[in-house]
Structure 1
Amino acid sequence: MCEECLRQDKLIKAQMVDHIKPINKGGSKLDIDNLQSLCNRCHALKSAKEK
């Protein structure tokens, strides 16, 4: 399930594994605490905000 949608009480299937803190900003590539599952929409919105 998409973790962002779950915070909004929506059940949407996740299609992406996302780095919470981007790797290019010091986030760990393989640390499970830096990973979250997101749907395509939430991943696209998060990526756009990070640019």
Structure 2
Amino acid sequence: MQKWEYATVPLLVHATKQILDNWGEDGWELVSVVPGPNPEQLVAYLKRPKG
């Protein structure tokens, strides 16, 4: 059975692509993006295979 690890990452609106590209290079897959604590920020939920 596949096991996963998860991360939550704050995203700045002006640097969203760069931040996600960096995490993607490390094998993380974007699951969802939700509003953050203020209008300038989003929060990304990511996952990758564990192990």
| Same fold (TM > 0.5) | no
Larger helix proportion of the pair: 1
TM-score when scaled to structure 2?
0.28
TM-score when scaled to structure 1?
0.28
Higher relative contact order (CA 8 A, sep 6+): 2
Larger strand proportion of the pair: 2
